[in-house]
Structure 1
Amino acid sequence: MSLANRRIGLLHHVGGGNLGDEATLESVAENIKRRWPTAEIIAFSMNPDDTNTRHGIVSHPIRQTGWSVGYKPAETDATFKASVKALVRNCPPLFSLLKAGNAVARQTTGILRELHFLTSSYRHIKSLDLLIVSGGGQLTERDGPWGFPYTIFKWIVLARWAGVRCMFLNVGAGPLTGPLSKLFVRRALAAAQYVSLRDQKSRDLLDEIGFKRACPVYPDSAYGLQFALPSNVIPLERRSHPIVGFAPLPYPGPRVYAAEEDQIVYDVFIGKLAGFASWLLGQSCALTVFGTDIGVDPMAVKDFETVLANQLGINSTLYSVDRTASVHDLLATMARMDFVVTCRFHGVIFAHLLNKPVLAIAHHPKVSDLMADLGLSNYCVDIRNFDLNLLTDRFASMIANAEDIKSRMAVTTTRNRQRLTNQFDELFDADAAATMAREPSWSWRRRDQTGRLSCG
């Protein structure tokens, strides 16, 4: 194998609209290309068409049924099936017979389709030299054990059967509670030549489920993203009103709320956010409403606007809504903000990269853990029990301490970016490339736990 023909696969559950996950994929791809310019990058995604368009790289599906933006199942033959069902319902005996037969056929067909998909996937993966599970919260039982855990496990198994080296790069873990989910994750990690995590809580969780190998912890790969700041950003001291970026999300879940109690929680949450936004406008702040997940956040933004208009009498001329659909456009928009209020993990990271003081409304422990790592716990509230008084108090404190916050954020941003640079330099240096080209059974060099490489 010549160095010019090196092919790297990046596997990530992207394509649903989460711009944070898109940022990690882009960061990994561009950092590899910077060090191995002749390498060919291939993506394995939940939405290959979107990934190809967004990142300009050849993309393949990682499951039989992928996503469209919004995490909805990709278009299938559902309309045809619905028509057939409507016809047979008019004949109850036939409907009962078909229903019973369908249960058996569905299991058999599902197995056959999966075998066909695995065969097709094997053809894609056997041409690779390296498969990287490229960041994000990949080690989770979202959608149950047959969702993320099985998907990761089957691709690692396929790669190993094909003699392809595997790497988990700065991934997040949790929740993992089911025994089958734990088994899939544990076996997948054990088959990889290199594993690194994006936070200590993920490392601790893997230890709890029985994966005892020493693996380093690095910052989220989004910190390695290269971007250009817009040239027309006007400093706060030259403006009469600070710009506050405000990012609602659909809580408690990213999909349509089936349970009545979830809808009640959601309505209360959006009402609290609207009340806080009204307070910000009353403090002469300019408000820019945005989202970091273009798949599901727009529906929360729309509901937020409805509450502002119908319950608080605030029309849309008093604030702006950002509807950008790419990572770099979003960063350009956020660069014009002075302060950020967000609920999402990568919303915090984007604010951190841009050195914008951030108030986090944490919907997941990973958000509060990140804020703690940044020394910003005082500006993080729990989404389950916050109120308007708590938000206004924390925001006022953030304003008063803005310069100190920005100074500390700048230090940690530099540190995180440098640590990722060191990691990528060592993982994808010339020696590693030459070894890959020379040895068909190449494996990563083992280092001790304090080194930048481990898990040989």
Structure 2
Amino acid sequence: MTSRDTAHRDGPPRVGLFGLLGGGNIGNDGSMEAVLAHLRAERPDAVLDCFCSGPEQVTARYGVPATPMQQWASYRLERRGPAAAVLKGVGKVVDAGRTLAWVRRHDAVVVPGAGVLEATLPVRPWGFPYALFLLCLSGRLVGTRVALLDVGAEVIDSPATRLLVRTAARLAHHRSFRDAHSRRVMGDMGVDTSGDEVGADLTFALPPVARPPEEPTGIVGVGLMAWSGGSGDRRRAGEIHDAYLAAMTEFVGRLVDEGRRVRLLGGDAVDDAVAARLLDAVRAARSGHAPLSVEADPVRSLDDLERAMHDVDVVVATRYHNVVAALRLGKPVLALSYAPKTDAVMAEMGLAGFCHPARFPDADRLAAQFAELESRRAELGGVVAARAAVVVARLRRQLSGLCGELLGERPPAAPVVGSAA
């Protein structure tokens, strides 16, 4: 070990968590929550804090001190003009210094999961990719160990984003991936991943908030997403979203016409408007009929989502962490996939045949896949529950090993006063 590696021996180890945390993505927050819970159990002596996109929310919800990732976040991309461009440029320079100063105060920094090495949803290179690059570069400059823990990666078309992401991955002291596809992608991008472990989505390590009922309830859970394509689809974003919403509206309408109970499941706050539009369209097409048996409750956390899912029989979902939440509960899932990460987790859980493209979905084929999924509900639920248990055990071993790698052995407990020598 270097002198920096052993610095925490003079006091409690300082561990930072870094990422798009507290900013409304409940999947990212769930990954952070899993790491926090493990650190608090395994290393209660550690001093924890965050460098993130939503510091106020992180502190309020998890009781962890937090610092904003971008001091100049008020100058958003939609602001135009020379003055705004100058201020944003200055902000990037200021953020470099702030990141270096924050990293220097820590013995280790963990990036807890999420798709930090991908751009499947629209992302600008000077946003999070730049922030991740600054983090990993700062770690190398000051000797703080930076761990990219069970992160997702995907092929990136933008040369600037690809360069920042690849360089950040190379600079990290520890890398592990949530699936084999992510490790393969980073290898293809020129990162030596031969010694990198494949784990799983970190939210699998969280305990379920409610035990699912043993008897079927007849409720179908439908998770919607404000889906309009990826970074390369900006010109067709409206067309992609309209096709997705039309297919999902048709699918839910068929369930309603069959007399089924439907529960619309939120994902992130931006998805609420999609659920509202779908519900309005279904109601308008059936005005004058009996009240619709469709529920739509807002979701603001992974706990909220799992409580909404706990008594549904099957789930049809788009957003990745809706799919993962259902799998954690042992639910058979039909996934509208917008990225290979969804295909990967569905295959690992034994549901490879129940993926459907989120890009221009087909309502007839979706209905046929749903009918097969529902007819095999008991069988597939057992497969999912068994495979999820294997993933949980693997994650617990991985997290314990990471604590030792980053922080060394846990110090012995202090002797109880008055105990025998």
TM-score by shorter chain over 0.5: yes
The aligned counterpart of 1:307 is: 281
User: Is it true that 1:250 corresponds to 2:264 in the alignment?
Assistant: no
CA distance in 2, matches of 1:57, 1:369: 32
Give the counterpart of 2:341 among 366, 371, 374.
366
CA distance in 2, matches of 1:107, 1:318: 50
CA distance in 2, matches of 1:208, 1:254: 21
Give the counterpart of 1:162 among 142, 154, 164.
142
Pair 43,399 (structure 1): closer, same or farther in 2 beyond 3 Å: same
CA shift for structure 1 position 381: 1.0
161-170 or 366-375: which moved more? 366-375
The aligned counterpart of 1:274 is: 249
Give the counterpart of 2:130 among 138, 147, 150.
150
CA distance in 1, matches of 2:388, 2:188: 30
**Cα deviation 1:52-74 (Å, max 9, x = unaligned):** 222221111222344xxxxxxx5
Percent identical among aligned pairs is 25
Pair 110,269 (structure 1): closer, same or farther in 2 beyond 3 Å: closer
CA distance in 2, matches of 1:366, 1:395: 21
The aligned counterpart of 1:351 is: 326
Structure 2, unaligned runs of 5 or more: 1-7, 412-421
CA shift for structure 1 position 202: 1.1
Aligned length: 398
SS of 1:63's partner is coil
User: Is it true that 1:22 corresponds to 2:22 in the alignment?
Assistant: no
> Any conservation in 1 of the 2:107–2:407 contact (CA below 8 Å)?
no
SS of 2:51's partner is strand
Give the counterpart of 2:368 among 372, 393, 409.
393
User: Is it true that 1:318 corresponds to 2:322 in the alignment?
Assistant: no
CA distance in 1, matches of 2:113, 2:246: 34
Alignment of 1:70-219 (within 5 A): 74=74, 103=82, 108-141=86-119, 142-214=122-194, 215-219=196-200
> Any conservation in 1 of the 2:118–2:154 contact (CA below 8 Å)?
yes
CA shift for structure 1 position 216: 1.2
CA distance in 1, matches of 2:246, 2:291: 16
The aligned counterpart of 2:267 is: 292
CA distance in 2, matches of 1:131, 1:106: 32
> Any conservation in 2 of the 1:243–1:286 contact (CA below 8 Å)?
yes
> Any conservation in 2 of the 1:324–1:330 contact (CA below 8 Å)?
yes
CA distance in 1, matches of 2:87, 2:396: 47
Normalised TM-score (structure 2):
0.86
Q: Which amino acid aligns with 1:188?
A: A
CA distance in 2, matches of 1:265, 1:189: 32
The aligned counterpart of 1:402 is: 377
The aligned counterpart of 1:224 is: 205
> Any conservation in 1 of the 2:240–2:360 contact (CA below 8 Å)?
no
CA distance in 1, matches of 2:60, 2:138: 26
**Cα deviation 1:77-130 (Å, max 9, x = unaligned):** x9xx99xxxxxxxxxxxxxxxxxxx73x65554443333333333332221110
Q: Which amino acid aligns with 1:243?
A: I
CA distance in 2, matches of 1:222, 1:15: 15
The aligned counterpart of 1:96 is: none
CA shift for structure 1 position 187: 2.2
CA shift for structure 1 position 398: 0.9
CA shift for structure 1 position 250: 1.6
CA distance in 2, matches of 1:199, 1:419: 13
Q: Which amino acid aligns with 1:64?
A: Q
SS of 1:23's partner is helix
CA distance in 2, matches of 1:253, 1:385: 10
**Cα deviation 1:148-206 (Å, max 9, x = unaligned):** 22110111112222321111100001242233323222222222221101111111111
Give the counterpart of 2:70 among 60, 63, 66.
63
Alignment of 1:8-47 (within 5 A): 8-47=15-54
SS of 2:115's partner is strand
Give the counterpart of 1:336 among 311, 319, 328.
311
Structure 1, unaligned runs of 5 or more: 67-73, 83-101, 438-456
CA distance in 2, matches of 1:321, 1:111: 42
CA distance in 1, matches of 2:88, 2:238: 33
The aligned counterpart of 1:53 is: 60
Larger of the two Rg values belongs to structure? 1
CA shift for structure 1 position 221: 0.8
Alignment of 1:395-434 (within 5 A): 395-429=370-404, 433-434=407-408
Pair 75,311 (structure 1): closer, same or farther in 2 beyond 3 Å: farther
Pair 339,393 (structure 1): closer, same or farther in 2 beyond 3 Å: same
> Any conservation in 1 of the 2:243–2:360 contact (CA below 8 Å)?
no
> Any conservation in 1 of the 2:150–2:201 contact (CA below 8 Å)?
yes
The aligned counterpart of 1:444 is: none
Q: Which amino acid aligns with 1:222?
A: T
Q: Which amino acid aligns with 2:187?
A: D
CA distance in 2, matches of 1:120, 1:388: 49
Q: Which amino acid aligns with 2:16?
A: G
